[in-house]
A and B are shown apart, each in its own frame.
Chain A
Amino acid sequence: SQQGEEDPQALSIQEGENATMNCSYKTSINNLQWYRQNSGRGLVHLILIRSNEREKHSGRLRVTLDTSKKSSSLLITASRAADTASYFCATDTGSGDKLTFGTGTRLAVRP
């Protein structure tokens, strides 16, 4: 079974609105990452948050991490049509060598 699960599975918002997606994971982690995937393309790294960090910002992205609840959230502010993509969280498991991904949130931003 997969380490991470995102919710919602799909999200549709209007341009200019904020988009929030959540990730829950099962075991202790070293770090948590978020990736973006445009339709039919490879994944692109967005942001990494370490297990001793609670919040991190990068441009219009804000990531939070709550290790007590084993959950993370990704907030995209002032969304644009170009933000339309799937978003995945990723963590490591076991010995820490393997990077495993959640099931993803499909975000659609309407112009």
Chain B
Amino acid sequence: NAGVTQTPKFQVLKTGQSMTLQCAQDMNHEYMSWYRQDPGMGLRLIHYSVGAGITDQGEVPNGYNVSRSTTEDFPLRLLSAAPSQTSVYFCASSSRPGSNTEAFFGQGTRLTVV
């Protein structure tokens, strides 16, 4: 059972570089989300998607882009990395929106921007 798979697990970027964090789920879930986790801040919602072709902003969307061309994949793009984007990023998926059912999380991507 793969569940939610995030790649890479670790990444170091230089300021100004771009990259894409990959997220894939094999549970046929409609709802997918990206969060960032910083010390003392808990998890903050970056972007989310309620189905293929539909995305929306969360609490901290600036500096990040997303797209959802398939049900399975929900990549997160950093167009021009900044040190403030150093964080641990988590992707999650669920079969129903919001708090209506449990969310399944990937193992995270630890990103450092120098």
Least CB distance, B45 to chain A, in whole angstroms: 6
B56: chain A residues within 8 A (beta carbon): 97
Cross-chain contact B98 with A88 (CB below 8 angstroms): no
Contacts A43-B105, A97-B48, A97-B56; A102 near B42 (Cβ below 8 A): yes
Interface of A is mostly: strand
Q: How far is the CB of A52 from chain B (nearest CB, A)?
A: 13
* Interface flag for B62 (CB, 8 Å): no
Known A-B contacts A42-B106, A44-B105, A90-B99; A2 and B42 likewise in contact (beta carbons under 8 Å): yes
List A residues at the B interface (Cβ < 8 Å): 2, 29-33, 40-45, 48, 88, 90-93, 96-104
Given known contacts A33-B102, A99-B45, A101-B43, what 11 new A-B pairs fall within 8 Å (CB)? A2-B42, A31-B99, A42-B105, A48-B101, A90-B99, A92-B99, A96-B99, A97-B31, A97-B48, A100-B45, A101-B42
